[in-house]
Amino acid sequence: MIPYYYLGSIALVVIGIYIVIAKKNLIKIIIGLDIMDTGVNLLLISVGYVKNATAPIENVPGPYVDPIPQALVLTAIVIGVSVMALALSIAIGIYKKTGTLELDELMGVEE
Amino acid sequence: MKRVLAIIIAILLFVVFAMAFAKIPFGEQMSKYPHYYNPIENQTSNMSLPQHYLTYGKKDTGATNMVTAVVVDYRGFDTLGEVTVLFLASTGVGSLMYVENKAKKKVKRSNAVVETGSKLLFGFIILFGAYIFIHGHLTPGGGFPGGAIIASSFLLLYLAYPKFHAEHKRLNVSESLAGLTFVIVGLLGLAIAGYFLYNFLPFGLPTYLFSAGVIPVIYVAIGVKVGSELTGIVDAMMGVRE
């Protein structure tokens, strides 16, 4: 039986891929990329889970969960935010140059 | 047509990923992980890598928050690269959004409740962000959440006051100084102990504020850097006024 955490995060990744393929609006594609990013982060975190364990902050006793995926996700979140900011500013630039955000119209626009 | 194809691809990918992840155990004890191989000493430890971090982390780094210990001390280069990525993103946004003189349109003022409320909240949010990144080695949080909280307080001011404008030169100065602090602390470690980002300060008592060597210094630098960078991104994006 596959745990629900894996299924949910894989579903988020797949929904992101579907949005990137099927949608035509640039902002919607960026939202799809963000959903994919969230799914990957959730997947990474859930791989490091240990049953009945607490957060790896050594003020409390007890078994701790794996700290390495948390460190990796801390990095991945910041990179996701950076990519999102750059993509949004590129979208703003495209809108200012061409006046549209639809991919179909952008294909036909000359310069 | 394209939508149907996309749905088929998505379902196929879901099945493939789910079949792959069905083999990965969930919530298992760390003692079942593969053991940690140390390439420098060329020997295998009798515990896995996360167990190694959790067992020796407090002794090796002096920090109570193991995620901080991993992020800043054991895997310091990750954080250096991450800060570089954020710096490049803020530079990129700044250069893409560059407008010569920001022609300010007549903007409607927000109402008095919003203005006064955000003026009162601004200081508290800055204080809380500083608390988060100063206590990065003791409590959950650290440089990146603290910096994001500080940037959110500036975003509040940007939204409440249409005329508000953070001085870009000062933002650049604080950003560069914080980045330099990080690299110089790393180079000092190289000069003193022979490793870049070596933890050369005394560890002190665990759970006290002045503990964990260079980790609080680096996290304060990262907090200031992330705060000013995200504020710069917000400023560049709000500067676009047609």
Asked whether the beta carbons of residue B237 and residue A92 sit closer than 8 angstroms, the reply is yes
pLDDT in tens, B165-182: 777 788 888 888 888 888
Q: Is the predicted pLDDT of residue B62 greater than 60, yes or no?
A: yes
| Closest-CA residue to A65 (of B87, B13, B70, B220) | B70
CB B63 within 8 A of CB B137: yes
Q: How far is A1 from chain B (nearest CA, A)?
A: 7
Asked whether the beta carbons of residue A56 and residue B66 sit closer than 8 angstroms, the reply is yes
The residue-averaged pLDDT of B214-231 equals: 88
Domains and CATH numbers, chain A: 1-107 (1.10.287.3510)
**Token representation of residue B59:** 């002794």
Residue B67 touches chain A, beta carbons under 8 Å: yes
Position with higher pLDDT, B53 vs A19: A19
Res. B215 pLDDT band, cuts 50 70 90: confident
The residue-averaged pLDDT of B102-111 equals: 67
Q: How far is B54 from chain A (nearest CA, A)?
A: 8
Q: Where are chain B's structural domains?
A: 65-238
pLDDT in tens, A76-98: 998 998 999 999 989 988 888 88
Closest B-chain CA to A14: B10
Which pLDDT belongs to residue A23?
A: 87
Q: What is the ipTM of this complex?
A: 0.84
The residue type found at B123 is G
Residue B238 touches chain A, beta carbons under 8 Å: no
Q: Is the predicted pLDDT of residue A55 greater than 70, yes or no?
A: yes
Res. B78 pLDDT band, cuts 50 70 90: confident
CB B138 within 8 A of CB B209: yes
Res. B105 pLDDT band, cuts 50 70 90: low
Asked whether the beta carbons of residue A82 and residue B88 sit closer than 8 angstroms, the reply is yes
Say which of B13, B26, B66 has its CB closest to residue A64: B66
Q: What is the DSSP letter of B36?
A: P
CA dihedral A85, A87, A91, A92 (to 10 degrees): 20
Residue B79 touches chain A, beta carbons under 8 Å: yes
